[in-house]
Structure 1
Amino acid sequence: MATDTQRGIKGPAIFLAQFAGDAAPFDTLPNIARWAADLGYRGIQVPVDPRFIDLDRAAESKDYCDEIAGTCREAGVEITELSTHMQGQLVAVHPAYAAQFDAFAPQALRGKPREQSEWAAGQVIKAARASRHLGLDVQVGFSGALAWPYLYPWPQRPAGLVEEAFAELARRWKPILDAHEEQGVDYAYELHPGEDLMDGASFERFLEETGNHPRAAINYDPSHFVLQQLDYLGFIDHYASRIRAFHVKDAEFLPSARQGVYSGFSGWTDRAGRFRSLGDGQVDFAGVFSRLTLAGYRGWAVLEWECCVKSAAQGAAEGAPFIEAHLIQPTETAFDDFAGGEASDRAALRAMLGLG
């Protein structure tokens, strides 16, 4: 699957979570892999979903993982990362959201938040082992949230509440990150409103609590930053060393006299901040791909489709050529090399400066 574009960002790839279903071609890994390849994708980001992967087998058997990888290659794609978004979410759930997230856990653990958290941590660790068996260096997912209900401080939060929440979040994630260290796999958190890790400041707080853990990384997704009105291009420059994965997702922010950033009580199509299909929103993808290329990011560009207007079928079909058109082959020369002079010794250089 090696291509010239792999000197830079790899792609196009697609995240399968929003397309998984019980009907063909979205019901099995061979079927959905062929579907993705037929649309022009070269990679697939695979959620840890029993329809696509047996996580227990994958964690224990490299032979099984080789079979999975071979199935994908035969279809014309390769696995970019494993996703444990749902499992990562369950590592830390505030009681206010326990009922809503209950369905993410096995039936036997419904209504048992502590057991769910322990199960989820085990799942993410198994996915790290599976990633290593698949030859993958990155896993992607969510952090979960304990402090999120207290985001907007009214009434004022008691002193120490946020600090305690992040200390607990780090306590739960530290053994998971240590397990990733053992496997040589990074965990790239998707910084996402609703998670305690939602922006650079929260990620830094988490890093500090984990002792700047080397395996704590970022799944960069500019759409979430548009909705927060955050400088998503400057973010790349600031956190380049931690960006290990990239969701290519578009969004728009259309504030009005009636609502702005906090417009979540409106329906999806009526909110000021909305996710859109690629090219239909406000993300400057030329800038994003340029900044990531300059920053040395050489991972995958993975479409995540979540549009409140356009159909999933159309969004998926348009995604591969959109990403392809934005891939950059890094230059190996300066634009003005043709006019460059010959190398000079120090004496000649000083003479040019009039320094004798």
Structure 2
Amino acid sequence: MRTLKGPALFLAQFAGDASPFNDWRSITAWAADCGYLGVQVPSGDTRLFDLTLAAESQDYCDEIAGQANESGITITELSAHLQGQLVAVHPAYDTLFDAFAAPQVRGNPAARQEWAVAEVRKALIASRRLGCPALAAFSGALAWPYVYPWPQRPAGLIEEAFDELARRWRPLLDEAEENGVDIAFEIHPGEDLHDGVTFEMFLDRVGDHPRANMLYDPSHYLLQGLDYLDHLDIYRDRIRLFHVKDAELNPTGRQGVYGGYQPWADRAGRFRSPGDGQVDFGAIFARLAVMDFAGWAVVEWECALKHPEDGAREGAQFVRDHIIRVTDRAFDDFAGVDTDRAANRRLLGLED
């Protein structure tokens, strides 16, 4: 067993145009002041990080890592969630997802996909340069509009979607192997990889690729009624990253999982700050300790009610309170005896 690393903070929800959230030195100093030891970096946010330069220059990577270290902060991982989303977009979402892309490729789905693939490649190279063992990403989605089977889906539709998704990601997984970096897909509604079954469908199509792995975020499992503790046991060998994000599901006679098109604060299922929802983090941290999880506990703040800065500060302490410093001995070692095969055989009635 090993002790989890943390706390760390995913910066995507905090980056902004006002200080201290608008430049790298300031936001990492702020994170340290909140009690964090690491940060997960949205690789496409140019206010904080120049992905192109990071892919080209070891000196740049050393510089930004050094600036973070001055505040006691480690770069835990890069995130390519938004770029990964654009690797596979169903036409129904073209307009909405265009905002995630560079201005020069908006309105051109083929150019946007090519740009997204190039960005993921850069993120893999930059991850290697930064010494980050995994890259967080979304898978994108071609089948998501058909997630509910009405109207009845024609035979082969979902299979064709997953065949194509695998075709697009397989070269990137091979490049991940070349760079010694795992791609940790966040299992997330809106993505074709949104539960264990869909992850397995994808994994089968990429030949059980060793670099195709998971980002575990229990909030997304709770909100779809999935057993998030059993999920840990099933996929323990594929889980590389961990988001500490809480959620609650309080169905009523008027709405349930689908939320009735309501804003987040009015939905039966909504995200909450760590400790304010229904996720059993005590059980999760215990399982991660037993399964020898090697990564960081990374707070992702997405709360429908609480101010983000309060959520960030409380989240750091929440993780500290839940990290289990694993024992280096068994509690009953004091009663142990030396191994003696002859004595053991006598105890079993197996006299020589």
Q: TM-score, normalised by structure 2?
A: 0.98
Distance in 2 separating the partners of 1:169 and 1:181: 18
How many angstroms apart in 2 are the aligned matches of 1:296 and 1:116? Answer: 39
Q: CA deviation at 1:221?
A: 0.3
> In structure 1, which of residues 280, 284, 289 is the aligned counterpart of residue 276 of structure 2?
280
2:96 aligned with 1:100, yes or no? yes
1:245 aligns to what SS in structure 2?
strand
What pairs up with 1:46-195 in 2 under 5 angstroms? 46-48=41-43, 49-195=45-191
Gaps of 5+ in 1: 1-5
Kindly state the Cα deviation for residue 34 of structure 1 after the two structures are TM-superposed: 0.3
* Structure 1 counterpart of 2:325: 329
CA distance in 2, matches of 1:188, 1:330: 25
Q: Deviations over 1:300-344 (max 9, x none)?
A: 000000000111111011011110111111222222111122211
Q: Is the 8 A contact 2:2 2:289 kept in 1?
A: no
Runs of 4+ in 1 over 6 A off after TM superposition: none
Q: Distance in 2 between matches of 1:101 and 1:264?
A: 22
Give the secondary structure class of the aligned counterpart of 2:193.
Answer: coil
RMSD of Structure 2 on Structure 1 (CA)? 1.1
Q: What is the alpha-carbon distance in structure 2 between the residues aligned to residue 282 and residue 183 of structure 1?
A: 38
Aligned residues: 350
Residue aligning to 1:234: 230
1:20 aligns with 2:15: yes
Residue 331 of structure 2 aligns to which amino acid in structure 1? F
Deviation at 1:7, TM superposition (A): 4.4
Is the Cα contact below 8 Å between 2:10 and 2:41 reproduced in 1? yes
| Other structure's SS at 1:169 match | helix
- Structure-1 separation of matches of 2:75 and 2:283: 26
Three-state SS of the structure 2 residue aligned to 1:108 is helix
Structure-2 change in CA distance of 1:46 and 1:264 (3 Å)? farther
Q: CA deviation at 1:354?
A: 2.1
Query: What is the distance in 2 between the residues matched to 1:93 and 1:18?
Result: 23
Select which of 5, 20, 28 maps to 1:10: 5
Q: Deviations over 1:205-226 (max 9, x none)?
A: 0000111111011010000000
Q: Distance in 2 between matches of 1:183 and 1:66?
A: 17
Q: Tell me the distance in 1 between the aligned counterparts of 2:115 and 2:201.
A: 25
How far apart are residue 264 of structure 1 and its match?
5.0
CA distance in 2, matches of 1:257, 1:353: 62
Q: Note if contact 2:2-2:292 (Cα within 8 Å) is conserved in structure 1.
A: no
Deviations 1:169-223 (A, max 9, x none): 0100011111111000001011000100011111010000111111011010000
Distance 2:190 2:101 in 1: 18
Task: State the match for 2:216 in structure 1.
Answer: 220
Q: Where in structure 2 are there 5+ consecutive unaligned residues?
A: none
AA at the equivalent of 2:60: Y
2:294 counterpart of 1:298: yes
Instruction: Pick the aligned partner of 1:41 from 36, 39, 44.
Output: 36
Identity across the alignment (%):
62
Distance 1:264 1:123, change over 3 A: farther
Choose which of 338, 349, 352 in structure 2 pairs with 1:354. 349
Counterpart amino acid of residue 31 in structure 1: S
